[in-house]
Structure 1
Amino acid sequence: MNPTISVVTPVYGCDGCLKELYTRIKQAVEAISPSFEIIMVNDESPDPSWQTIQALAKKDARVKGIALSRNFGQHSAITAGLDYSTGDWVVVMDCDLQDQPEEIKSLYYKAQEGYDIVFARRAKRKDTWLKRMQSKLFYKVYDYFTEGTTDASIANFSICSRSVVDQLCLLREKSRSYPLFLKWLGFKWTVIDVKHAARGEGKSSYNWSKLINLAIDSIVSQSNKPLRLSITFGFGIALFSLIYGLFLIYKYFFLYQPVAGWTSVMVSLYFLGGLTFANLGIIGLYIGKIFDETKDRPLYVVRTKIGFDQGYEPLLTTHEKKKG
């Protein structure tokens, strides 16, 4: 019996790539199974991407489109596609043609060796030097705070089984990272090397500001090391202050040397004040994350969709059932 393959791709700023993307995905997946669906999630792209998705869906019933009400971010868009997917195996890939659809076959056949998840590792990245440097810096900082090891050449391009997708869809945290969540689930996974192409159209929406925000969100969501570091710094400064205070007392009573005036006092106050505010900021980030989770807002809002059966909605997650 042929498996059903779902291909999920978040769409933003790549209208010119979508027709070629559809054609190449179709050719690649047809070599595996005639039963497949292509789910394109329009993350409120500023170009005519949604009109192109609609045209493709009208041309081929296996193309399905989801238009989000606003830009919720790449990982929330991926979540929307996963929620609506029905395949036995689900492929996630970017829409800019850097992830080459022809590699889907390699991912699928590797998964048949007994793996639940197969990641695509970009053997020779075609990104700019600046993009590669941003990525390496992001993962070095992330690995330091989470005490893990992350391969910067692995992104979203992957295939996973239905059982993995079902469990992944139960994770409804607001701060999301698709590949990190997959690894956290603990299913059997592996990596294969794939070819990486130059970007087909547009440019990456991840600038320095977005990468910094993503790093902070990921670190605060996945690790409490910043809190532990702030405690260590606090005790370290307290110990240093105690030793320095004892030294000043010794200097005053035994060496008969008076302590210098206000300069050292003011410097110490500013230093301690800065550290106090920094630690409060770290604590505030964690409190802010807790606040975001307690608001219990949906990860995305669907404005409209095309290609799905009338009235079709994804199965409620355990979390949503509890809410109801």
Structure 2
Amino acid sequence: MASIQPININLIVPCYNEEAVLPETSRQLLAMLGKLQVQGRIDGESRVTFVDDGSRDRTWQMIEELSRQDARVHGIKLSRNQGHQNALLAGLLSARGDVLVSLDADLQDDIDAIPRMLDEYERGADIVYGVRARRDTDTVFKRWTARAYYGLLRKFGVDIVPDHADFRLMSRRSLDALRDFREVNLFLRGIIPMLGFRTAIVTYDRLSRFAGESKYPVLKMLALALNGIFSFSTVPLQWITVFGFILSAASMAIGIWALFIRFATTLAIPGWASTVIPMYFLGGLQLLALGIIGGYLSRIYSETKQRPRFIIEKSI
């Protein structure tokens, strides 16, 4: 169903060292805009905005060249690398448009899902999530860890859309609401559902990366996963308390048992293993508890400094 008034849409594409894929990404996205404009669904001011997240290659030079070739291409250059989530936020908060669609530069997000996202927007959805229809192209390890992670977040009380990354459509009023969220430790997949507007889901098949290499190695994925837990749930802190009570009771029981063996029997042996095992076990648990508490404290430290999440060096 076509809208009465053409929509001004802006495609937000965070980039970090993406020179290998940018020409093809730009070509496909501009072709999509052209197709939608011919159909009368979007207006002539619709555009693509690439956000250069402090790339070390020729990404920004290529964005400038693409902009000279086609006025629909715009760019935002951050002063330094701030990470994918901050680069994405910079685009969402800085770009114009009635509707913004965020997607990755590697063309793994199927752009053919964008017209279906617009359908849902026209039906009244302010936020439309692009959700993977299946994960059979992933390795067994990645598929299992992804499902376990989403399940864990749900158990922690985090409102999150399973199998959704950052491929989504957002209306202007949902973006205005997002502007009020000031946290430095960003996990947009957890923040967006908190906005509370009407949402919809569009499924798609994730494609192979067109060129280049993933900018999310295991350590970065782990850091993002921990951010999702520490930023939206205090359940781990509650678990520490529960485990502390349980282990205190268990330690007391072991102590009583050890005293019984020592004074009521002749079975006590010097250097008894039951003395060493609980000591190491409790020591390890204490370190784990301190690590979890440290995770929260480090994020509190970052938030209290209130440093800017990104600095825009240049825009075109």
TM over 0.5: yes
Q: Percent identity?
A: 32
Query: Normalising to structure 2: TM-score of the pair?
Result: 0.88
Question: For residues 55-114 of structure 1, what are the alpha-carbon distances to aligned partners after superposition, in whole Å with 9 as ceiling and x for unaligned?
Answer: 111222232111112221111001000111221111111111111323211101122112
Aligned to 1:301: 311
Bigger mean CA deviation after superposition, 221-230 or 171-180: 171-180
Aligned to 1:318: none
Aligned to 2:20: 16
Aligned to 1:317: none
Query: Normalising to structure 1: TM-score of the pair?
Result: 0.86
Are positions 1:37 and 2:47 aligned together? yes
The separation in 2 between residues aligned to 1:218 and 1:237, in whole angstroms, is: 28
Bigger mean CA deviation after superposition, 55-64 or 283-292: 55-64
Q: 1:196 to 1:248 in 2, by over 3 A?
A: closer
- Shift, 1:189, TM fit: 0.8
Give the paired residue count.
Answer: 304
Instruction: For structure 2, list consecutive stretches of 5 or more residues without a partner in the other structure.
Output: none
Aligned to 1:50: 60
Q: 1:248 to 1:147 in 2, by over 3 A?
A: farther
The DSSP-based 3-state class of the residue aligned with 2:181 is coil
Find 1:90's aligned residue among 100, 105, 111. Answer: 100
Aligned to 1:261: 270
The separation in 2 between residues aligned to 1:222 and 1:250, in whole angstroms, is: 46
Aligned to 1:117: 127
- Shift, 1:126, TM fit: 7.7
One-letter identity of the residue aligned with 2:15? V
The separation in 2 between residues aligned to 1:126 and 1:71, in whole angstroms, is: 32
- Counterpart mapping for 1:160-171 below 5 A: 160-171=170-181
Are positions 1:229 and 2:233 aligned together? no
Find 2:185's aligned residue among 156, 159, 175. Answer: 175
Aligned to 2:32: 28
Instruction: For structure 1, list consecutive stretches of 5 or more residues without a partner in the other structure.
Output: 307-324
Are positions 1:136 and 2:147 aligned together? yes
Question: For residues 157-178 of structure 1, what are the alpha-carbon distances to aligned partners after superposition, in whole Å with 9 as ceiling and x for unaligned?
Answer: 1111111111112212122122
Q: 1:21 to 1:125 in 2, by over 3 A?
A: farther
Are positions 1:203 and 2:213 aligned together? yes
The separation in 1 between residues aligned to 2:135 and 2:286, in whole angstroms, is: 42
Aligned to 1:275: 285
The separation in 1 between residues aligned to 2:12 and 2:160, in whole angstroms, is: 27
Is 1:125–1:197's contact at 8 Å kept on the other side of the alignment? no
One-letter identity of the residue aligned with 2:270? G
The separation in 2 between residues aligned to 1:196 and 1:269, in whole angstroms, is: 49
Is 2:161–2:189's contact at 8 Å kept on the other side of the alignment? no
One-letter identity of the residue aligned with 1:180? G
- Shift, 1:199, TM fit: 0.8
Aligned to 1:151: 162
The separation in 1 between residues aligned to 2:261 and 2:205, in whole angstroms, is: 68
Question: For residues 170-225 of structure 1, what are the alpha-carbon distances to aligned partners after superposition, in whole Å with 9 as ceiling and x for unaligned?
Answer: 21212212222111211111211224321111121222211222222221111111
- Shift, 1:242, TM fit: 2.0
The separation in 2 between residues aligned to 1:296 and 1:184, in whole angstroms, is: 21
Is 2:187–2:231's contact at 8 Å kept on the other side of the alignment? no
The separation in 2 between residues aligned to 1:212 and 1:179, in whole angstroms, is: 15
